[in-house]
A and B are shown apart, each in its own frame.
Chain A
Amino acid sequence: MTQTTLRRTIPQTQKMFDDYGVLNGDNDIIHYDDQFAKDRGFRGTLGHGLMYTGYVCDLAAKRYGADWHYRGRLTVKYVRGVCPGDNLEVRIEGDGAVACQSQFDTTLVGSVKLA
């Protein structure tokens, strides 16, 4: 059965990066130091890849319900950085294809399914 596309848009802020970093203990300055990130060729500080994975998982849990906790399978690749000010759309297509897309680029691709 073909499922409907699930999507939501989450505007990104430095505070969101900071709050995630407070929880996971990540002190990598690429998430906090704008100049350091720009010196490495990015538009600005980068959000945490696992934060975006969490966004995808939330939509997958909505789609698959209880089965997600027992048989959920997820593969993601982070293809571009996400920076403060990005308007990030998170999407799961009917076939399980996953993408995160900002106004600048596709930032994450992958897939979700049940085993």
Chain B
Amino acid sequence: MTRPSDVKPREGDQPAALYKDWVVGAKFPPLPFTITPDVVDEYISVIDADRANYVIDGRQAAPPNVVLVYMMAVMYRLYPPQQGGIMIGNTIEFHNPIWADEETEVIGSGQVTEKFEKKGRKYICYDVEFKRPDGTLLVSCNHTSAFPE
């Protein structure tokens, strides 16, 4: 079992990466983790989801977006977080189910795609892919956040 808090650097725990530190094209170190039924249950609870919406051919699947609680951990391993970050947007694609009744080994990876300043705010964009160890793509994301410094 891997709780996101086990692998995600916490804001304020170490010197934060600043806007000037981000390099477009920089790749995040692969982050292996395991999604367990306990994590799926907790995720369903915190997003107030309806399990009935995730049944495939009679089998209970997880909300595929359960991987999103690990997304920022992938990026933060290369660029430790700063306080006051604001999420701006996400584009997300789902490719294969994550089952609720089994452990799912996942490897998160990604890279910085863009950085820019606009109206005094500093924006960072990056891609993250979540795959099974055999290479099966589960979920892909493009994310944008704004940071104070």
Contacts and interface: CB of A to CB of B under 8 A. Distances in A.
A16 B5 CA distance: 17
Given A23-B69, A73-B92, A57 B5 contact: no
Contacts of A46: 86
Interface centre among A10, A28, A62, A77, by most B CB within 10 Å? A28
Interface residues of B, number: 49
Contact of A27 (B12, B54, B56, B91): B12
Contact of A78 (B13, B53, B88): B88
Contact of B87 (A54, A58, A78): A78
Nearest to A20: B46
Nearest to A16: B46
Interface residues of A, number: 41
Interface in A9-50: 10, 16, 19-20, 22-30, 36, 40, 46, 48-50
Contact of B4 (A16, A24, A30, A66): A24
A65 to B, nearest CB: 8
Contacts of A115: 93
B48 interface: yes
B87 A10 contact: no
A115 B137 CA distance: 15
B34 interface: no
Interface stretch (B77-85, B110-118, B123-131): B77-85
Interface string A61-83: 11000101111111111100000
B27 interface: no
Interface of A: 10, 16, 19-20, 22-30, 36, 40, 46, 48-51, 53-55, 57-58, 61-62, 66, 68-78, 110, 115
Interface of B: 3-8, 10-13, 39, 42-43, 45-50, 53-54, 56-57, 61, 63-65, 68-73, 81, 83-97
21 contacts: A20-B46, A23-B4, A25-B5, A28-B11, A28-B81, A49-B90, A51-B46, A53-B68, A54-B46, A54-B49, A57-B49, A58-B49, A58-B53, A61-B63, A66-B57, A68-B94, A69-B94, A73-B94, A77-B89, A78-B89, A115-B93
